[in-house]
Chain A
Amino acid sequence: MSTTNAGLAKKLGYKNILVYLDGEPAWSKANLPTYSTNNFIKTGNVVLVDIRPSAIAVQARIKGAYSVPYEDLEDRLDDVPRNAPIVLYGDDEVMDAVIDTREEGFNFVSLVEGGFNGWLLAGEPVETGPIFNTEIKWVRKLGKGEVSVADFRKAATGEDKDAVIVDARTKEEVAELGMFKNTINIPLDELSARMNELPKDKKIYVHCSTGARADMAYNELVNNGFNVKFLLLNISDAECDCEIIRP
């Protein structure tokens, strides 16, 4: 997209154009600061963290922010999924916090533009008083084509009779690890040849071991007119909690 835009600008007569091909991912990887827009902070599914001392956060903080003093940050973020967008603000140490957090494996860490003062100046909402939200909670929103674990479980238990589960793992994996109930094993590479085994009038939920193959199978089935969703979850994850049978 940067090259497309550069081409357009060139055509419009701009003479001094550079393209930063490595882009935003390389910039954050180099531990340089990136910023979220205030709108994203207010409406996005983010974990907003005030890393200033609690006494200061009690006086005034960005609405919806968790108060986590810098020294507690690592502990308190420990259970938060690494793909949660984290937005930090604080004083001088905030860039250190960004680097620490990125090194903890968080993929999306950015800052509030201008910090707390920038937020205030922009007239954005703040809150004051005691802080009650101590445990950081973040739940990923389902992406395109994803089935929720709850819906998937209903199909696996047989409670939802309008759904069929397809296990896209290999026969060897199924033989070794077993499979869920109400499930047909169609290894991903056999899918195009065996599609006729699947009903068009039912929901189809595809899973594999982590979701990678399920995603591919999803695309293939969607293209062939099936009512399909896929499970993006490591099925050994406790969250799945579906009964396993031996075929």
Chain B
Amino acid sequence: MRKTFLKLVPLCLMVALINPAFAADQGGKPSVNQQTQQSQQKEANVYTGQIVGKSEKAKTVSIEVGKGDQVKTMMLKFDEQTKGVDQAVKGHAAIIKFEMRGNNKYATEIKPKLAKLPEGVTEIKTETLQELLKNHTDMFLVDARPASRYGQSHLPGAVSIPVALLQKKQAAALPLNKDKLIVFYCGGPT
């Protein structure tokens, strides 16, 4: 039953995938040269996307690939030879390499897709953030998840600014002072 809620857990990574800035390093994504793209797709049997399900009993893993209307759920089998089966966790972004055996796709390797920080932006860990809050450091703490998730549970003093809202309101949603410390968080690299 816990799964239902996991479904609602927003994902930093999913959005990172949708953002073109992050998609650039993925094979098979639209590129300038169509031919290169096609040959890449043929060679590289790779799916990148969010894991939407895994069954140990049936030995299958499902991953959501593509964007917008093109979103498709692909199901792959895995076996004892598959590397990193533990890395396939529902709701997390992953990269799955696979091969065809007959009509079935078999995962050969599953790797988590890690979040990438924009240039000039660094990470803050729990302890440091806790310190900042304890010392009442002057900062602007932003919850980037959908408003419903913010409603259920947010960090002390956080403001709700989902990605769509920031895209719409731009700097109007942020402090006037551009030197002010801003800390963004979401549902984790889940």
Binding site for B on A (CB under 8 A): 1-10, 12-28, 30, 32-37, 39-40, 44, 81-83, 85, 107-110, 140, 143-144, 146, 168-170, 173, 187-189, 191-193, 208-209, 211-213, 215-216, 219-220, 223, 232-233
Closest 8 CB pairs of A and B: A23-B188, A40-B151, A216-B53, A20-B185, A7-B118, A2-B184, A2-B186, A1-B144
Q: Which A residue's beta carbon lies closest to that of B53?
A: A216
Q: A83 near B2 (CB under 8 angstroms)?
A: yes
* Interface residues in B, total, Cβ within 8 A: 80
Q: B55 near A212 (CB under 8 angstroms)?
A: yes
A219 cross-chain contacts in B, Cβ below 8 A: 52-53, 62, 73
| CB-contact partner of B151 in A9, A44, A212, under 8 A | A44
Cα distance, A81 to B59, chains bound together (Å): 29
Q: A30 near B126 (CB under 8 angstroms)?
A: yes
| CB-contact partner of B184 in A6, A143, A220, under 8 A | A6
Excluding A18-B181, A213-B53, 12 further A-B contacts by CB distance (< 8 Å) are A1-B186, A4-B12, A6-B117, A7-B21, A13-B171, A17-B121, A25-B9, A32-B126, A40-B151, A108-B5, A209-B57, A219-B62
Q: B153 near A6 (CB under 8 angstroms)?
A: no
| CB-contact partner of B182 in A16, A110, A213, A233, under 8 A | A16
Binding site for A on B (CB under 8 A): 1-5, 7-12, 15-16, 19, 21-22, 52-55, 57-60, 62, 72-73, 75, 77, 90, 103-104, 115-126, 129-130, 142-145, 148-156, 161-163, 166-167, 170-171, 174, 178-190
Known: A20-B183, A213-B57. A83 touches B1 (CB 8 A): yes
A160 to chain B, nearest CB (A): 24
B7 cross-chain contacts in A, Cβ below 8 A: 143-144
